[in-house]
Amino acid sequence: MLWGVLVIDDDPIIVKYLVSLLQDNGYETCSAGGGVEAFEVLQRERPDLITLDLEMPDEWGPRFYRRLSRETELKNTPVIIISGLAGRHAVKDAVAFISKPFDPDKLIGIVRRTLGK
């Protein structure tokens, strides 16, 4: 099954909020609490888009992104950074960088433009 968006964040409240927001706007979702778990999810699912937190305890977001970009089948998956950290932190090819706290309408607009839906 093709999932719409993979949400990666170590804060379960943020994950729950993003999943609800995306589902309420017609997107299917899967989620992971960090980079290590996200790669396990990616072995089963092929999301159309990924939202990625930068500061996570098990794997720093930029490191996850570099690993993702080396995977032939996954490297073209668009990534939206959603982080409380300032700056892009070595994720210069991300579709967008959104600072926490964020405007949900802005995020949905970026997702729609990116996925063409």
Q: Does the pLDDT at position 54 exceed 80?
A: yes
pLDDT confidence tier of residue 1, bands split at 50, 70 and 90: very low
- Report DSSP letters for the chain, one per residue: ---SEEEE-S-HHHHHHHHHHHHHTT--EEEESSHHHHHHHHHH---SEEEE-S--SSS-HHHHHHHHHH-TTTTTS-EEEEESSSS-SS-TT-SEEEESS--HHHHHHHHHHHHT-
- Interatomic CA distance for residues 88 and 43, integer angstroms: 26
The CATH number assigned to the domain with range 5-115 reads 3.40.50.2300
Beta bridge partners of 30: 6
- Interatomic CA distance for residues 46 and 88, integer angstroms: 24
Section 12-16 average pLDDT: 97
Q: What is the pTM of this model?
A: 0.92
Whole-Å CA distances, 116 to 32, 44, 55, 85: 24, 24, 29, 28
- pLDDT for 102 equals 92
**45 φ, ψ (degrees, to nearest 5):** -120, 155
